Amino acid sequence: MESTSKHQVAHPFWPRDLSIPNYVPNDRSMSEILTFLFSVSGVFLLATWGITGRENASGRLGVWRRLAVCWFAVCGFIHGVIEGWFSLYYEVIPADQSFLSQLWKEYSKGDSRYAIADNFTVCMETITAWLWGPFSFWAVYAFLTNKPYRFVLQLIISLGQLYGAVLYFYTEHRDGYAHSEMGHPIYFWFYFVFLNALWVIIPLVLIVDAWGQLSGAQALTDNARSHKSKRT
């Protein structure tokens, strides 16, 4: 009985009696993993910031718009590469020592649903990786080339991200926050709350922005039609 108990807690995840028989501890440190994640995200952000500073057919993008495009570039990387890895290899991640698998094992300290391939997280991350990843890069292209559908893409992506994030938090709330060490400054507040809250706050802002842009365009179209009908 004692050996069974020890076997059950031979991992860093919560709840402590979670059974992950194939778990292999990371040989990469937290600092290595986080440095990689934020360094690559920073490269995408800085590269996109530089590209968006160039003048295009409609002139230069404003600071706010450039930041929004940078956000979509970083989302493309995180959704397509990081979450894409999870969607493909979720069954082997606990035992795998590939760098991205170790990244997910590190994140699982804040949400062990990823270590046990919980049905919701697998479905949500697969949709996020294969829809919002490519769509995010498409949005970057659309804004750089001033495509007329750019704000439609912004609205679709942001709604999808917001919906996924709300379900992510709400399903864990219904589970009583059982998959993390409640109140831990890094695993709970930083990994689980802060990093995921970004996909609530920023998409909300972008939804409001897209709403305003699309409503304004529709108002101009309606006014033009009204003036045309009065002339005829």
Confidence of residue 8 (pLDDT cuts 50, 70, 90): low
Instruction: Inform me whether the pLDDT recorded for 4 exceeds 70.
Output: no
Give the whole-angstrom CA distance, residue 26 versus residue 96. Answer: 9
Instruction: Inform me whether the pLDDT recorded for 55 exceeds 80.
Output: no
Mean pLDDT of all residues in the chain?
Answer: 92
pLDDT per residue as tens digits for the range 217-229: 989 888 877 767 6
What is the predicted pLDDT for the residue at 57?
A: 61
pTM attached to this predicted model: 0.91
What is the predicted pLDDT for the residue at 54?
A: 85
Residues 6+ apart with CB under 8 A from 53: 60, 61, 66
Region 208-214 average pLDDT:
96
Instruction: Inform me whether the pLDDT recorded for 2 exceeds 50.
Output: no
Region 164-176 average pLDDT:
97
DSSP letters of 64-80? Answer: HHHHHHHHHHHHHHIII
Q: Which two tokens stand for residue 137?
A: 């890069």
Gyration radius (Cα) of the chain, Å: 21
Query: If residue 231 lies in a helix (H) or strand (E), which one and from where to where?
Result: helix 195-231
CB of 13 within 8 A of CB of 115?
A: yes
Query: If residue 99 lies in a helix (H) or strand (E), which one and from where to where?
Result: helix 99-107
pLDDT per residue as tens digits for the range 138-161: 999 999 999 999 999 999 999 999
Cβ neighbours around 44 below 10 Å, total: 18
| Buried/exposed code over 193-208 (b: 16+ C-beta within 10 A; e: otherwise) | eeebeebeebbeebbe
Region 189-200 average pLDDT:
98
Region 86-107 average pLDDT:
97
For the ranges 3-7, 99-103, 158-162, which has the lowest average pLDDT? 3-7
What is the predicted pLDDT for the residue at 134?
A: 98
Region 2-28 average pLDDT:
80
Instruction: Inform me whether the pLDDT recorded for 102 exceeds 60.
Output: yes
Closest CA to 85 of 113, 115, 126: 126
Task: Return the ∠ at Cα 190 (arms to 185 and 191), rounded to 5°.
Answer: 115
Give the whole-angstrom CA distance, residue 82 versus residue 57. Answer: 34
Going from the C-alpha of 196 to that of each of 107, 118, 162, the distances in angstroms are: 11, 17, 10
What is the predicted pLDDT for the residue at 224?
A: 76
